[in-house]
Structure formats: structure tokens, C-alpha cells
Chain A
Amino acid sequence: MSAAACPENRPAGAAPSANMRAFAMRLLLAAALVLAGLVFAYPLLFMFAASFKPADAIFADIANPLALLPDARWSLVNYRNVFDKSAVGSYLLNSTTIALVTIVAGVFVNSALAFAIAKLQWRGRHGVLALVLALLIVPLEVLAIPMMLVVAHLPWFDAARGVFVVGWLDTLHVQIVPFVANAFCVFLFHQAFKDLPDELIEAARMDGAGAMTIYLRIVLPLCKPTVATAAIVIFLAMWNQYLWPVMTVQTGGARPVMVGLQQFFGRTNQWGEIMAYATLITLPVLAFFLVIQKHFVRSVVGSGIKG
């Protein structure tokens, strides 16, 4: 507290007005932040509220902010219809599997490459990094067709039947494997690992740790916020995927939620049901972020306060 702010240093009668002013400023700031938060959250809250209402109620309440509050018209009918009209449960399971497997594989594959580039000494590592970063500017749309031609002819060991099959179409792994390697995640991990002191690696070498031990037990645990950020980036990318699954998955067995949403959109004209479907596929994303957010925020904050 500054000398001027000490109660005994301020003139009599000045203290209450200075306190009131500070309180008023904080209140104003809080009100502005709440308002901004409401603006961001409103579409989500509207979607959630609309998922419990019949269609006519949605449009009747569209300009009424109190419509976000539960009332007698709310019911689970829309949700029941969604499960009757589509295999949303199966699609949710597919998307969850695709996202989680890609996250686990992606974190290890991308961080391992980043560790090798950032902390191991070998000729050509800077060239490899430049090549990987160059891929950041290449959109999926450019690569999608060649990729599809490739995966249509790749072999795969079908563990259930115990045989090798040719072609990856209409499977979960066609939606996972091409996306395990992620240039942005390599960049994220590289930036995090680059900032770790080399003495840390050397101390581990003096302790007898090899490269794999250093990577798994020293470097990765120290970069949990970056792991969380990469997990969120991969999760959102895989959960929201649409183009690639539309191209490579024709049957419902491997269909993810976004393709399912597009199909459901063609099967109903009830906005309440569409909102219910949208709510169902949004909740896992929110839940995932709630679990990971502590590390994610630390990563974002930490990236701005270096040194």
C-alpha cells in the first residue's frame, strides 16, 4: 500500500470518497465483464434452452431474455426424438474414440519430434523443423484427395478377423492416423522445450538418464500446460472434423458427430430437435475443457510472461 493510500496519511474526510470511487470502478469493471461474458455465452445458453422447448415456443421467445430460464414448457421430448431418429449415441462414441486416441497418440508423436529437434544434436534438425512449419500453411483441402487415394490402398491388420485388409475407408482409423502428426502441435512443443534450460537435460544425463527417460520423465512432465494446450487443439480439431469424414466414411458404423449432425439436419425440420442434437455434441467439448482448463490457462499466461 502506498504512503498516500495509508489511512493515517490521508486528510480527514478524503478516505471515504477515495474508497467509494475505487469500489465504484471495480463494480463498473465487473458489470462490463459480466455483460461481455453474457454476449459470448448467449448463443450457447439459447441453444441449451431451446433444446428443451417445442419449435413454436423457441420462436415466440426469441427476443425474450427470460426465455433462458426453465418453465413449464421445458421437456425432454426433443432429446427422445433425437435418439429415435439418429444413432447419435454411436456417433458420440465414435467421435470420442477418434478424439481421445488422436490426443494420446498425437501428444507423444508430436512432442517426441519436437524434443528431438529442440534438445538433441543432429544434422538437419533445423531443416526438418522448417519443413514441418511449412506444412502449417497447407490446408487440408489441398491434401484431402491425394490422401484419400492413398488410404484407399493402404493395408490394415483387422484384429477382429485376424487378416490383413486393403483400404482404410469406412473405419475409425482412417479418421485418426492421418491426423496424429500435427504441425501446429510440433511447433507448440518445440517452443516449450526450447525454453527449458539445457542444464536440465545435462543434469539428467549426469544422473544416467537416456534420451527416452529424459523425454518422458523430465521434459514432458515439465510441460503439462503445453500438453493440455495440444490436447485441446487436437480435441477440437478432431471433434469438429467434417470434410475428411464425409469423404472417407459412408456407413454409419464409423460416422462422427458432425457428419451425423448434417444428416440429422436433413431428417427433421424441428429446431428444438436440432438444438438438442447440437447440445449433445457440445457438452463433451465443454466437459473436456473444464477438466483441462487449469493447465490451458497456465500455458496461455505463461507464454506471455517469459524470462
Chain B
Amino acid sequence: MSIGSQTSSLAIELRGVHKRYDERAERAVFSALDLVIPRGSFTVLVGPSGCGKSTLLRMIAGLEAVSAGELLFDGVRVNDKPPVARGVAMVFQNYALYGHMSVYDNIGFGLRIAGVPKAERHAAIVDAARQLDLEALLQRKPSMLSGGQRQRVAIGRAIVRRPRAFLFDEPLSNLDASLRGSLRAEIAQLHQRLRTTTVYVTHDQVEAMTLADQIVVLSPQGLEQVGTPDALYDTPGNVFVAGFIGGQRMNLLPVDAMHDAALRALGAGQAAQLALQGVAHVGVRPEDIDLVAGDAARIERIERLGADSLVHLQAGGARFTALSADRQLAPGDLVGVAARRQHHFDGTGRRTPRPAP
């Protein structure tokens, strides 16, 4: 792909996609998956290990075959096209840099294969290096670089080809926490600047929430929900999404006798009444629980998180957590609890609308 061509972003669609690693395998990785990745969007595929998010990304890249169904780029079927013909570039978790080549040659390798003239290639490499603050490192080998620098070289190798879509496969997983934050910001800025369709895989829901225009939540059972970060946070479609998305894990209280006291303390109502309404679980985020004066629950222990603390509570045999900024709380204290927002889920785990009061 020569530089300067195919620079427009693309829209990606998966229609009825099936993926099975082996024809005799019992479980398919995906069955009848339908997904639209809008042009220019930053779509994050998030889910626990083994849910198939990397497999999905690799199918888009052309590194994995689609067992059945259609993969469309701007409405054109690309199932049988090799990776280089799809106009996409990929950044790998472990950088995948060519260790015997300098940073300059790593970034320019794809252009060299494509037959881009030397002068044009040099200009593109220098431009990519300048965008990623790599100019002083162009003659170094990957072994002389830090983890963050290596990942920026990998990103440079991707952007220099001016692809129509970027594919990131957990690019920050191998970096320490401080580097992760700064590189995450750089990736966000890159997207703001280039507005190229980006598909980003991560198991970290914080990365998903901070980077995404659209989040695709995957589980071992398949696609759970697609939506904006706010939509997934405010209205999770099922217990899996509810438990996965959010800074602290959502309290999911089963509607039964053991949790009746906790449900009433939180203002959710009696367990028997909720059960009649078809509610099987009540979800309350720790940050949506206010701790007030009272004796509805006992504090079991407190985890200091800095400005806030995660307070582990017990009410009538049920355990749940609340996020509080109160530094005066101590284990053993009795407190009242009030939930500002609740989520109801039925017996199949799906979200049910809360009945009018």
C-alpha cells in the first residue's frame, strides 16, 4: 500500500460471523456475531480473558480466518483478502519489533516492502517519529529502548502506513502503571488528530471507559452489549455487563430471604415483593451507596484507596460494598445505607425496567 493512498477511514461490519478453531471443536468462539464499527470511531472490545476479543481483532486484521459469515469493510467483503490488502495496521501487546533493525528501519519496513521510494519513505518515517517523540531514537535498536518507547515505535510502524483502521491488541498490558497512563493519553490524542477508525482490545475496563466512543462487551458466551461508556455504565444490559463495567465491581444482591435485610436497608424493597415483580438480582454500585447515620449495616473492614475508601458492609447475613470519602469510619461501626440508584435484573440476568413507585 503506497503512502498517500487509502487514507480515508473505513467502516467495519461483521454479519453473522462464526468462528471455530477446529471443525470438531465443541464450542465456537463466536456464533452469529453481528457488529458494526462506525467510520472514524474508537471502538473498544473489552472482556475477561478467553472471551475471544483478540480473536475478533485478528479476524478483522486477516490473521485469523472467518469460519462463516461476512466481514465487510465499507460494504465490501474482505474475508479472503490478505492482511496487507485490507488497509489496516496492527499494534501488538508485546510490540513485535524486529530486533535486528533500528527504530528507523522498523518504522519503515512496511513502506520498503510496498516499494515506496526512498525519499518519500524517509519523510514518512521522520514525520511519524516526530509525532511520537522518537526522533532522537531512530538509530537505536529495540533492545536499547524502554517498554514505552518500544510501544511508540510499534505505533509509529502502524501510522506511517497511513492505514484506514488501527487495530490495537492490548498495547498497554506489558507496561507499568505510570507508563500506561501516559501512553493511553497519547493514543487518545492520536485518534483525535487522525480520526482513523480504531479497534482496541483490552481486558481493563478503565481503559475502555476512558478511550472509547463505543464499547463492545464480550464474554465467553459471546457479545453481551454494545454502547457508549455512559450507556454501559448507566444502563448495563445484563448482570455480566453490570459486574464488569465500573470502577468498583457492582453489588449484585440476589432477591432472596438472606438478602432481604440488605435490600430493605438500601431502599430496594422487600425481597418477596421484588420476586413477584420478576426481579432476581438488584444491582447497586458502591459509589451509588451513601453511608448515613443509622444501624442497618455493620462495617466489616475498610480498604483505603487514597481519597476514597471501599467499605465492606454486612446486613442480615448479606455482604456488599460502598465507596466513601469519610475517614472517620472504622470496622465494627453501625451505619445506615441509602442507594441513590439501583438496577434490576430478571432470572435470565437481563435488565428489567424498575417499576414506577
Which of B1, B84, B157 has the largest number of chain A CB atoms within 10 A? B84
* Contact yes or no, A208 B90, CB < 8 A: no
Q: In whole angstroms, what is the CA distance A208 to B113 when docked?
A: 6
Partner of B90, one of A197, A203, A218: A203
Chain B residues near A218 (CB, 8 Å)? 98
Identify which of residues 182-210 in chain A touch chain B, using a CB-to-CB cut-off of 8 Å: 197, 199-200, 202-209
Within the complex, what minimum Cβ distance (angstroms) separates A220 from chain B?
10
Q: Could you tell me the distance between the alpha carbons of A202 and B1 in the complex, rounded to whole angstroms?
A: 17
**Interface set, chain B 108-137, CB cutoff 8 A to A:** 109-110, 113-114
A200 interface neighbour in B88, B93, B96, Cβ under 8 Å:
B96
| A206-B61 in contact (CB<8A) | yes
Q: Which of B63, B89, B94 has the most chain A CB within a 10 Å cutoff? A: B63
Bound form: Cα–Cα A197–B99 in Å: 11
In the complex the two chains form, is A208's CB within 8 Å of B96's CB?
Answer: no
| B78-108 interface bits toward A, Cβ cutoff 8 Å, 1 = contact, 0 = none | 0000111000111011101111100000000
A207 to B63, CA, bound (A): 12
B99 to chain A, nearest CB (A): 6
How many contacts between A and B, using CB within 8 angstroms?
53
Chain A residues lying within 8 Å of B89, measured Cβ to Cβ, are 206
Alpha-carbon distance between A202 and B61 when the two chains are bound, in angstroms: 10
Please tell me if the beta carbons of B96 and A207 are within 8 angstroms of each other in the complex.
no
For residue A75, CB closer than 8 A to chain B, the reply is no
Q: Are the C-beta atoms of B84 and A205 separated by less than 8 Å?
A: yes
- B96-A202 in contact (CB<8A): yes
Given A202-B63, A213-B113, A207:B94 Cβ within 8 A:
no
Q: What is the bound-complex CA distance between A1 and B109, given in angstroms?
A: 44
Could you tell me the distance between the alpha carbons of A197 and B113 in the complex, rounded to whole angstroms? 21
How close is A186's CB to chain B, nearest CB, in angstroms?
22
* Interchain CA distance A297-B299 in the complex, whole Å: 63
Does A222 reach chain B (CB closer than 8 Å)?
yes
A222 to B90, CA, bound (A): 21
Q: Which 9 A-B pairs have the closest CB atoms?
A: A207-B110, A208-B84, A203-B96, A199-B96, A208-B113, A221-B100, A199-B92, A206-B83, A206-B90
Show 27 residue pairs from A and B whose CB-CB distance is below 8 angstroms, ordered by the A residue.
Answer: A199-B92, A199-B93, A199-B96, A200-B98, A202-B90, A202-B96, A203-B90, A203-B92, A205-B63, A205-B82, A206-B61, A206-B88, A206-B89, A206-B90, A206-B110, A207-B113, A208-B1, A208-B83, A208-B84, A208-B110, A208-B114, A209-B109, A213-B113, A221-B100, A222-B98, A222-B100, A224-B100
